[in-house]
């Protein structure tokens, strides 16, 4: 995991605890143990793994000709995309734009699968997957190696 998180949320100039034990009031700045941007990033990683799960279900559904499963998993992708909060990303606008594009493609896949068109579903699945990789190319942290 690249160490690109610049703020630990801990200020180096917090006052030392007072020796007489009287100064036990805590600075509010010291309260959150996990900086908010770390939590947001972890949440995003969980969402990404759920995207893989749903993409796998879609692949299986397409391979088996089970468009009902394809539609359900594509609807899930739409929901997952809706939960992604990119506001902590330094390029939040771009990220939000890519996520919206991804979501639209997933929604279209759900509609096509619902209509029962297997071949159009194949094609639209690839459009969804390209939306994953387009965003990764632009937005994953530099030198991203996975884990
Ligand atoms: C809007 C942009 C965007 C889209 C769309 C997107 N990703 Fe990601 N993905 C990211 C970013 C950014 C990261 C790096 C997150 C981090 O570690 O900070 C990432 C990380 C991941 C990871 C690694 C998660 C981890 O545990 O570290 C996986 C797996 C992944 N994406 C899968 C997918 C799949 C599959 C799709 C499409 C079905 C997809 N992503 C669509 C932006 C996107």
Q: Quote the pLDDT of residue 22.
A: 47
C-beta of 90 in contact with ligand 1 (< 6 A): no
Ligand 1 nearest-atom number relative to CA 139: 12
Instruction: For residue 143, give both structure tokens.
Output: 């030198």
Average pLDDT on 49-59 reads: 98
Between 72 and 37, where is the model more confident?
A: 72
Taking 90 as the threshold, does the pLDDT of residue 8 lie above it? no
Q: Quote the pLDDT of residue 7.
A: 41
CA distances from 57 to 50, 61, 115 (A): 11, 6, 18
The percentage of the chain sitting over the pLDDT mark of 90, rounded to a whole number, equals 64
Ligand 1 nearest-atom number relative to CA 147: 27
Measured between alpha carbons, how far is 61 from 128 in angstroms, rounded to an integer?
15
Could you tell me the pLDDT band of residue 21, with boundaries at 50, 70 and 90?
Answer: very low
Contact indicator for 131, 101 with CB cutoff of 8 Å: yes
Domain limits, the chain: 35-139
- Alpha helix locations (H) across 8-35? none
Q: Quote the pLDDT of residue 142.
A: 75
Q: Whose CA is nearest to atom 25 of ligand 1?
A: 45
Q: Could you tell me which CATH number the domain at 35-139 has? A: 1.20.120
Q: Quote the pLDDT of residue 3.
A: 43
Could you tell me the pLDDT band of residue 15, with boundaries at 50, 70 and 90?
Answer: very low
Measured between alpha carbons, how far is 36 from 32 in angstroms, rounded to an integer?
8
Instruction: Compute the mean pLDDT over every residue in the chain, rounded to the nearest whole number.
Output: 84
Which of 89, 102, 124, 132 gets mutated to test ligand 1 (max ligand atoms within 8 A of its CB)? 132
Q: Quote the pLDDT of residue 136.
A: 95
Q: How far apart are the first and last CA of the chain?
A: 6
Residue 125 burial by CB count (10 A; 0-12/13-18/19+): exposed, middle or buried? buried
Between 32 and 124, where is the model more confident?
A: 124
Taking 80 as the threshold, does the pLDDT of residue 20 lie above it? no
- Alpha helix locations (H) across 3-117? 36-64, 67-83, 92-115
Kindly write down the DSSP assignment for every residue of 48-77, as one continuous string: HHHHHHHHHHHHHHHHHT-HHHHHHHHHHH
Contact indicator for 96, 86 with CB cutoff of 8 Å: yes
Per-residue pLDDT tens digits for 95-119: 999 999 999 999 999 999 999 999 9
């Amino acid at each position: 995991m690249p160490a690109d998180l610049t703020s630990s949320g801990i200020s180096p100039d917090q006052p030392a605890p007072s020796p007489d034990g009287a100064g036990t009031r805590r600075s509010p700045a010291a309260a959150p143990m996990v900086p908010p941007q770390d939590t947001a990033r972890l949440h995003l990683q969980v969402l990404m793994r759920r995207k893989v799960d749903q993409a796998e279900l879609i692949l299986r559904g397409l391979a088996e000709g089970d468009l009902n499963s394809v539609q359900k998993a594509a609807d899930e992708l739409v929901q997952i995309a809706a939960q992604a909060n990119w506001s902590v990303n330094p390029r939040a606008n771009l990220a939000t734009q890519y996520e919206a594009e991804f979501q639209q493609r997933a929604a279209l896949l759900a509609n096509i699968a619902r209509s029962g068109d297997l071949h159009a579903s194949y094609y639209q699945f690839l459009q969804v997957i390209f939306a994953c990789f387009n965003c990764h190319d632009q937005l994953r942290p530099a030198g991203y190696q996975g884990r």
